Structure 1
Amino acid sequence: MKTIGILGGLGPEATVDYYKEIIKSVNKRNNDGSLSYPEIVIYSVNMDRFIALLENEKYEVASNYLATCINKMAHAEVDFAAMSANTPHLLFDEIQRKVSIPLISIVDSCAQKTRALGLKRPGLIGTKFTMEGGFYPDAFRKFGLDIVIPQPDEREMINEKLFKELELGIFKEETKQLMLDIVQKMIDRDGIDSLILGCTEFPIMFTEESYLGIPFLNTTQIHVAQIVATCYRID
């Protein structure tokens, strides 16, 4: 097994969820009660520092910060790494160029899964950086898929709830219903046939595989599947 590096802290709740999902996936793979788990190094970054850099459009500094953190994991002899959040994938290519180990992309993993499921018109919710950044549409376009994002006022509400509630570990039923109301509008207005949970806190709130008659794509589980497969792969 390869040693896994997880860049966490973006935010903490999702980082914990990643660890749990990796262990759950390994248990299913072992299927024999084995306690043989992969070695994992988790580096938790300062989320406030990173988001402030994005807010001020200091993208070079932001990518340098995350690359430095990932290279620290490389010094701890991890074989590859994954960022346990969608937002930093805005800078994925820049970060990959600056680190000495391969990175597993949550966006590419999700695009491959969406195509495998035969879906054609997925909606996307996440932070404003994820919804407006263009890196999801760029990746999905390679697979002939169009991404649909919410309207500007809807994006503002989603972003606000993420940073004022979900990233702090606060999950309210009323917020969940507000999100579902937006998704229903996207179904009726935009004809989406699925929804990408483009923030790794969302799967903690939306625990079912589908809502409102469409699949909700859990980017954490999709990413973890690739991480575990890479961990066991013999090069």
Structure 2
Amino acid sequence: MQKVLGLIGGMSWESSAQYYRMINEQVRDALGPMHSARLLLWSFDFADIEALQRAGDWAAATEAMVAVARRLEAAGATALVICTNTMHLMAEEVQAAVGVPLLHIADPVGEAIRARGLTRVGLLGTAFTMEQDFYRVRLAQRHGLEVLVPDADDRAQVHRIIYEELVRGQVHDASRQVYRQVMQRLVEQGAQAIILGCTEIMLLVGDNDAEVPLFDTAALHAQAAAMHLLSPG
């Protein structure tokens, strides 16, 4: 019998919908066409979370995330998934507050990159993910990766497109071109691959948009979640 996975989503719902689809597809492919994933989904109103992010009130954001993690555990979740990169800023606090494992998004990404024999990668994401160390340090310490981030102007553009377009379901060719240029500059700095370190970026760019491999964090995280659901024990 499958385990029960608790999804902490809504940040934004655009990417959470992709998680729901991908996890269910992988369970169906593994078990047969009538099967689907046993999931509990908490979906935040992203406007509330975005306001806390913008205000830099990470303490309140952490409190909200911990409260939801505990609710999902109480409802029967045997593991948790935070369906966004940025909110892994408080992953340690969330994990400490519950007795079930939190499947950290950076780990399947790091494992996939190392499996390809790569060690130097570029990171795209929100300004919080690119500029704070919670994500880059985990990739460095646990997976031995050197992580490059865009310069300040490029970081501002990447962040703006995420919050003003992608989380609103807007996908524009002009923004795709901006991302292509940012990725190319990272390649010129020595990046052997690019991490799509915001779960909405998959809506904008794909493998044909860069000359190096792209690692889609949402897809890799969803795959790890499905593997956990299907694992014995």
Structure 1 residue 130: Cα displacement: 0.5
User: Alpha-carbon deviations, 1:116-139, whole Å to 9, x = none?
Assistant: 111111100010011011122211
Counterpart AA for 2:147: I
Structure 1 residue 56: Cα displacement: 2.7
Q: What percent of counterpart residues are identical?
A: 26
Structure 1 residue 213: Cα displacement: 1.8
Looking at structure 1, the residues matched to 19 and 119 of structure 2 have their Cα atoms a distance apart, in angstroms, of: 27
Structure 1 residue 48: Cα displacement: 2.2
Counterpart AA for 1:93: E
Partner of 2:187: 187
Partner of 1:5: 6
Listed as ranges, the matches of 1:130-149 within 5 Å are 130-142=129-141, 143-149=143-149
Looking at structure 1, the residues matched to 99 and 57 of structure 2 have their Cα atoms a distance apart, in angstroms, of: 23
User: Alpha-carbon deviations, 1:36-63, whole Å to 9, x = none?
Assistant: 2221111001222223223333222211
User: Alpha-carbon deviations, 1:46-90, whole Å to 9, x = none?
Assistant: 222223223333222211101111211122211111011000011
List runs of 5+ in structure 2 lacking aligned partners.
none
Counterpart AA for 1:40: L
Looking at structure 1, the residues matched to 56 and 132 of structure 2 have their Cα atoms a distance apart, in angstroms, of: 12
Conserved 8 A contact 2:25-2:36: no
Looking at structure 2, the residues matched to 213 and 182 of structure 1 have their Cα atoms a distance apart, in angstroms, of: 12
Counterpart AA for 1:213: E
Q: Secondary structure at the match of 1:82?
A: strand
Residues 121-130 or 106-115, more deviating = 106-115
Partner of 2:226: 228
Partner of 2:21: 20
Conserved 8 A contact 1:122-1:195: yes
Structure 1 residue 14: Cα displacement: 0.2
Structure 1 residue 150: Cα displacement: 0.3
Q: Secondary structure at the match of 2:147?
A: coil
Partner of 1:89: 88
Counterpart AA for 2:12: G
Looking at structure 2, the residues matched to 72 and 59 of structure 1 have their Cα atoms a distance apart, in angstroms, of: 20
Q: Secondary structure at the match of 1:147?
A: strand
Looking at structure 2, the residues matched to 207 and 181 of structure 1 have their Cα atoms a distance apart, in angstroms, of: 14
Q: Secondary structure at the match of 1:103?
A: coil
Q: Secondary structure at the match of 1:213?
A: coil
Length-normalised TM-score, structure 1: 0.93
Counterpart AA for 2:37: P
Looking at structure 2, the residues matched to 7 and 62 of structure 1 have their Cα atoms a distance apart, in angstroms, of: 13
Looking at structure 1, the residues matched to 24 and 137 of structure 2 have their Cα atoms a distance apart, in angstroms, of: 31
Q: Secondary structure at the match of 1:41?
A: strand
**Count of residue correspondences:** 231
Partner of 2:170: 170
Looking at structure 1, the residues matched to 45 and 100 of structure 2 have their Cα atoms a distance apart, in angstroms, of: 21
- The verdict on how the C-alpha distance between 1:45 and 1:100 changes in structure 2, with shifts beyond 3 A counting, is farther
Q: Which runs of 4+ in 1 moved over 3 A?
A: none
> For the aligned residues, what is the CA RMSD?
1.4
User: Alpha-carbon deviations, 1:172-213, whole Å to 9, x = none?
Assistant: 11101111011111112x1111000001011122243x5332
Length-normalised TM-score, structure 2: 0.94
